[in-house]
Structure 1
Amino acid sequence: MNPRQRRGMVLIIIAVLGAIGVFAGVSSYVSNINTQVGSKVAVLALNKSRAAFAVIRQSDLTTVEVPKRWVDPHAITDASEVVGHRLAIGISAGSTLTSDLLVPPTDQTRHERFITIKVDAVTGGATTLRAGDAVDAYAVYADVEGLSKQVRVLVHDVKVVTVSSPQTEQNSSSAKGTSSAPANFIAVTLALTAQDSLAVTYAAAFAADLRVVKLPPVGEQDPSTDGPYDANKLGGKAVPEGSK
């Protein structure tokens, strides 16, 4: 083998070794990328911008592939989980959908109005309430200080949706006047008809006191008597405060 052939052989060997090195480098890079990215998952996204509280339709959805490693734990992959639901905020086109972007599901019917009232933490009757309980709501209207003129059953046998923990409110006000003493109350959300929600809202603003009364299970309740109880039934004579 002459010197020229030997030089050619050396160059061929160097080229082969270089190709092997390049192949090893590419393989290592691809392996590293696969380690970081991994397989992909198809998640749902919007193909058009939608405003807050818009109802999501099937035509609004598209699928995008996202590396499994980087998928949001709340990402949605099944269209049945979002079609017909409402968005909690406005979403731009191309944004992936997650469960925290949807308005939480509710069993509220089209005829119900959810309204929250504040009742006294002790006398309001709310300390034993739980979501799903049935209650009556009473309103006390007073003209004469120290003596209730009338107690009315505002709503009968309505569903409790939520009950908050006891809270304290400074500078509370009511029909009796304003007091700087703390008021301990519990917020109770009721499911009402449109007409009943007006009655309860009015009572919450103008009644001297508002209470909820827990009812026994269905089938064990006494017949309801929704008539008002007038203070005249107490007997005696009401004397306004400060009179002699």
Structure 2
Amino acid sequence: MNPRQRRGMVLIIIAVLGAIGVFAGVSSYVSNVNTQVGSKVTVLALKKSRSAFAVIRQSDLKTVEVPKRWVGARSITDPSEVVGHKLAVSVSAGATLTSDLLVAPTDQTQHQRFITIKVDSVTGGANNLRAGDSVDAYAVYSDVEGLPKQVRVLVHDVRVISVSSPQSEQGSSNSKGSGNSPANYIAVTLALTAEDSMAVTYASAFAADLRVVKLPPVSHQDPKKDDPYDATKLGGKAVPEGSK
């Protein structure tokens, strides 16, 4: 093979390689365009801007088609998943709806109040609690003038909504007169009536200690709220208000 033939062969090889490269580039481009405009999914979006905590109605919704590659796991396609729910943040018109834009669903009734209390992580009784458990809540009064040192049943057989992991805080003086706040505590959220929520709020401010007691799955006990166990049964003595 003479030099002219060799140069011709090299040019042919270069041309073939170039053609292969062009074919691969075109195929990649076509595939990319196909994923953007070829396969689409219908999702829900808002017709108009809505503010945070606004209730979503059927008339607020519209459907839009977007490329499948742009649809995430939180995108919403079924109106039943959003109608009647509240928005967690303000959402502009045309924005597609996702589950993280909605307020978390709750089974709270109109007459319930969700109250969170802090109990000692060691003695408070919350270590073995789970959401859905039933509990009694006790208040220990030991430094309230005019009252004997006593333990009162604040609420009986109430539902636990959530239990936090143990948390720490720096001790600080409070109105209980018990020195410092617990250094380690667990936050327990309870579902209460409006009246019981007032009692628990008062105890949180003035009781020396709050404790929760887990009840068995079926509880037949019904302790009287007005029958406290006071320190006189152990030799204690009530201190009249104003005395030293």
Q: TM-score if structure 2 supplies the norm length?
A: 0.78
1: CA distance, partners of 2:222 / 2:154: 16
Q: Structure 1 residues 71 and 237 mapped into 2: Cα distance closer, same or farther (>3 Å)?
A: closer
**5+ residue gaps, structure 2:** 1-22, 240-244
Residue in 2 that maps onto 1:94:
94
**5+ residue gaps, structure 1:** 1-23, 240-244
Following TM superposition, the consecutive aligned residue runs of length 4 or more in structure 1 with deviations greater than 3 angstroms are 27-32, 35-38, 236-239
Residues 50-106 of structure 1: CA distance to partner in whole angstroms, max 9, x if unpaired?
111111000000111111111232110110110011111111111100001011111
CA shift for structure 1 position 148:
6.4
Counterpart contact for 1:138–1:153, Cα < 8 Å: yes
Q: TM-score if structure 1 supplies the norm length?
A: 0.78
What count of residue pairs does the alignment treat as equivalent?
211
CA shift for structure 1 position 160:
0.6
Residue in 1 that maps onto 2:16:
none
Q: Which aligned pairs between 1:22-41 and structure 2 lie closer than 5 A?
A: 32-41=32-41
Cα root mean square deviation, aligned:
2.5
2: CA distance, partners of 1:38 / 1:223: 65
Q: Structure 1 residues 202 and 238 mapped into 2: Cα distance closer, same or farther (>3 Å)?
A: closer
Q: Structure 1 residues 238 and 81 mapped into 2: Cα distance closer, same or farther (>3 Å)?
A: closer
Higher Rg: 1
SS at match of 2:165: coil
Q: Which aligned pairs between 1:153-172 and structure 2 lie closer than 5 A?
A: 153-172=153-172
Counterpart contact for 2:48–2:60, Cα < 8 Å: yes
2: CA distance, partners of 1:69 / 1:62: 20
1: CA distance, partners of 2:58 / 2:120: 47
Residues 176-219 of structure 1: CA distance to partner in whole angstroms, max 9, x if unpaired?
3443x86111111100011111111111111111111111222x
CA shift for structure 1 position 238:
7.4
| 2:221 matches 1:222 | yes
1: CA distance, partners of 2:38 / 2:182: 58
